[in-house]
Amino acid sequence: MFLTHVIDITVKKLKSQAANLITLSNLFLGSFAILYVTKGQLHLSLLLIFLAALMDRFDGITARKLQTESEFGKQLDSMCDIISFGIAPAMLLYQGVLNEFGSAGMFVTIFYISCGAIRLARFNISEQQGYFTGVPITVVGCIATLLFLLTSFIPGNAYLFIMVVLSLCMVSPFKVKKM
């Protein structure tokens, strides 16, 4: 009887934290992506960013399915998203392309990360009405990451412009329907 009670409590705790564990896997993957950028392993970094996006998708699904959505989970998700879809893609593109442009490349990289942080902060304090205001950082981060694959086809200086446009999309007043 005692063992059954302990197992029930453990299962409830695991259930309540399942989505947060998936969210933390997003953070781990994004952090590894950044570290691999610093080692020059850019394609591995790209893969890790996409895996982080997969985890980001599953954490929300898991929280809703298990009915464990919480304010803590929402905040944790945003903290992880700035790493995986703000800093990691920015570092990938900086190392892969933007560093060729000196201070301008640095500015655009930091501008992108700043707009991502603003987007996430705005999301965290807004009421959800079935849409997002501004393009979600996960979407923009995945687009930026995909663009890394096109460095052979797109002139380097175009990336300065593209990154500014992507940055502004995150803080724009556009309404994007939730999926």
Which CATH number goes with the domain that contains 77? 1.20.120.1760
What letter represents residue 34's amino acid? I
Res 7 pLDDT > 60:
no
Average pLDDT over every residue of 128-145: 91
Q: Which helix (H) or strand (E) holds 132?
A: strand 131-133
Distances, alpha carbon 124 to alpha carbons 39, 71, 119, 121, 174, in Å: 33, 9, 9, 5, 17
Q: What is the pLDDT of residue 108?
A: 98
Domain count along the chain:
1
Res 54 pLDDT > 90:
yes
Q: What is the pTM of this model?
A: 0.90
Domain that holds residue 26: 2-177
Token digits of residue 171: 């803080």
Q: What are the CB-based long-range contacts (under 8 Å, 24+) for 125-134?
A: 128/178, 130/177, 130/178, 131/175, 131/176, 131/177, 131/178, 132/175, 132/176, 132/177, 132/178, 133/173, 133/174, 133/175, 133/176, 134/169, 134/170, 134/171, 134/172, 134/173, 134/174, 134/176
Which residue do the tokens 């990336």 mark? Answer: 159
Res 18 pLDDT > 70:
yes
Res 142 pLDDT > 80:
yes
Average pLDDT over every residue of 50-62: 94
6 pLDDT band (50/70/90 cuts)? Answer: low
